[in-house]
Chains A and B, each alone.
Chain A
Amino acid sequence: MGNRLTFAQQALGLQSRFPDALIEIGRHKLKFVADLTPSPLSETYSVRIEFDGVHRPVIKVLSPILRHPPERDLPHTFEEDALCLHLPGEWNTSDLITHTIVPWTVEWLLHYEIWLATEGTWCGGGHEPGALN
């Protein structure tokens, strides 16, 4: 594991790749809000990433509201539909959010649309019962 990156380093990385994003640095929190479009036919999603400097970043889709059929939960999410992008150990505080969490979020959004389109097939891989591995 490398050195833990500061909020300023993370913010700089995000700012350089997403100049239109909202980036706020607080004492205990880094907040990033940006509009992301995974692919040409995809919707544009407003996404918020919050990072406390210690734990894994928390990713929420602000709009549009994520949809799912009544009988099915959203795949690869935590409570309150926060996205779950990686296994424990695949990300740590020495990783730039802009090169990891953000592209993984975009991928999640793409596979979410395919999951909706196919009525429940998750093509993104990962660890889940019933996923295509």
Chain B
Amino acid sequence: MFDSAEAQLAALLQGTVKQLDISPDHYREAVNKYHQVAEFLGAGDEYEDADLLIYPQGSFRLGTVVLPAPGADYDIDLVLRVAIAKEATTQGELKVLAGQRLTEFVNRTSGAPSLEEGGRCWTLLWPRFHVDILPSLPNLENLPTGILLTDRDLRFWQWSDPIGFADWFHSRMQDQFVRQRKILAAERSTTVDDVPQWEVKTTLQQAVQVLKRHRDLHFANQLHLRPPSILVTTLVGLAYGGHDDLFEAVIHIAPRLTQFVKDRNGVGWIANPVLPEENFADKWRTNPARRRAFERWASKLSKDLEEAAAQRGLDRVVARLEDGFGDGVRIAAKDLGMTYRSGREAGVLASAGGTGFLASATGGTKGARVRKHNFFGRR
């Protein structure tokens, strides 16, 4: 059940971010929606050799979605890669072309979403789902996955490589991913390949979610200073120590975040791991307040985790965690209580001699199984 303080803290954090993750049903719905767009546009998927490719990027691809609140709308980012050479088009043309095709999609689809234009992308608005579609070209200097992006405010094509980034992120959690997928396959009596990748949730993915949740609350009233998700995800990926336990993972990561910020000629630099010339901390150059805000946040995160772990009394631990992670921790605490209760009801809860410590009867703890009973009382 919970043999250590870390395991209990992990359960509380895990329960908190799970409330903000995309549910399996919504995940499938989102995939259906983007396949609908892809099909209309005649686009292929992933690495296919097609004129048009459409694929997810960002937190939806990485499995690190964190909603601002339970039930909030999902923002899903898709890349639309059009196989034209950059010499044959302009950024403006590419954006307009994509807009025309998406307008046709909206006009010809029943139950269609509405379409809005943004700085770099088009947004299809369905109820609950905001799907950003980022027009891009293949980057012939960075094949197979590199792309070039349009940007209303920039004259030059922007380099990007969301698939390469996701592959890098995945490489940081590869061992656990393989182990967990095997476990899921065994539980379902199926083959490993039949377990969809997105159904595997690793400690690294959850660690990113935990940090993003803390960041969202910390910067709730200072959105202009909030570090972007890609920056946080990169630092978590770099600082991750391979821990299986979520709490051990995040308490290892938090004090190391700032160590992975490098200096290049006096400029704070968090390199895109797959495009080292791209600096995720680029905005710090023109706005040093962002860097200071990042450092303050990282130190607050460490403090919140350490102080929560030092409390005794689940209520005090929960209250301390709520300071950093919001009232979802309370719902996670309820789940923790229900775990103990269902353990007793299933006859697998044991109480150890000496301290009474409650643990799983099937685990290593020696103890008497807790006999079934009903709490009673006039109040």
Which A positions have Cβ atoms within 8 angstroms of B?
16-20, 34-44, 73-78, 84-88, 90-91, 98-100, 102-108, 110-111, 113-114, 116-119, 121-128, 131-132
Complexed CA–CA distance, A75 and B2 (Å): 24
Do the beta carbons of B370 and A107 come within 8 Å of each other? yes
Do the beta carbons of A107 and B358 come within 8 Å of each other? yes
Do the beta carbons of B358 and A38 come within 8 Å of each other? yes
Do the beta carbons of B356 and A113 come within 8 Å of each other? no
Do the beta carbons of A110 and B314 come within 8 Å of each other? yes
Do the beta carbons of A113 and B3 come within 8 Å of each other? no
Hey, which chain B residues are within 8 Å of A74, CB to CB?
Answer: 379
Residue in A43, A84, A116, A122 whose CB lies within 8 Å of B312: A43
Report B287-301 CB contacts with A as 1/0, cut-off 8 Å. Answer: 000000000000000
Residue in B4, B313, B351 whose CB lies within 8 Å of A106: B351
Q: What would be 20 A-B contacts, judged by CB atoms less than 8 Å apart? A: A18-B353, A39-B314, A39-B340, A41-B313, A43-B312, A44-B312, A44-B355, A76-B375, A77-B379, A84-B378, A86-B375, A87-B373, A87-B374, A90-B374, A106-B357, A107-B351, A107-B370, A111-B340, A123-B334, A123-B338
| Interface hits, B329-379 → A, CB 8 Å | 330, 333-334, 336-338, 340-341, 344-345, 349, 351, 353-358, 367-368, 370-371, 373-379
Task: Name the residue on A nearest B311 (C-beta).
Answer: A41
Known: A39-B8, A41-B5, A110-B337. A125 touches B318 (CB 8 A): no
Min CB distance, B345 to chain A, in Å? 7
Min CB distance, B131 to chain A, in Å? 36
Residue in A39, A76, A102, A118 whose CB lies within 8 Å of B334: A118
Min CB distance, A103 to chain B, in Å? 4
Task: Name the residue on A nearest B344 (C-beta).
Answer: A107
Do the beta carbons of A108 and B375 come within 8 Å of each other? yes
Task: Name the residue on B nearest A132 (C-beta).
Answer: B338
Asked if B200 lies at the interface with its beta carbon under 8 angstroms from chain A, I say no
Known: A76-B376, A128-B377. A113 touches B371 (CB 8 A): no
Complexed CA–CA distance, A111 and B341 (Å): 9
Known: A108-B375, A114-B337. A19 touches B357 (CB 8 A): no
Do the beta carbons of A39 and B357 come within 8 Å of each other? yes
Hey, which chain B residues are within 8 Å of A34, CB to CB?
Answer: 356
Hey, which chain B residues are within 8 Å of A100, CB to CB?
Answer: 371, 373
Hey, which chain B residues are within 8 Å of A104, CB to CB?
Answer: 370, 373
Min CB distance, A26 to chain B, in Å? 24
Asked if B149 lies at the interface with its beta carbon under 8 angstroms from chain A, I say no
Hey, which chain A residues are within 8 Å of B378, CB to CB?
Answer: 78, 84
Complexed CA–CA distance, A40 and B358 (Å): 9
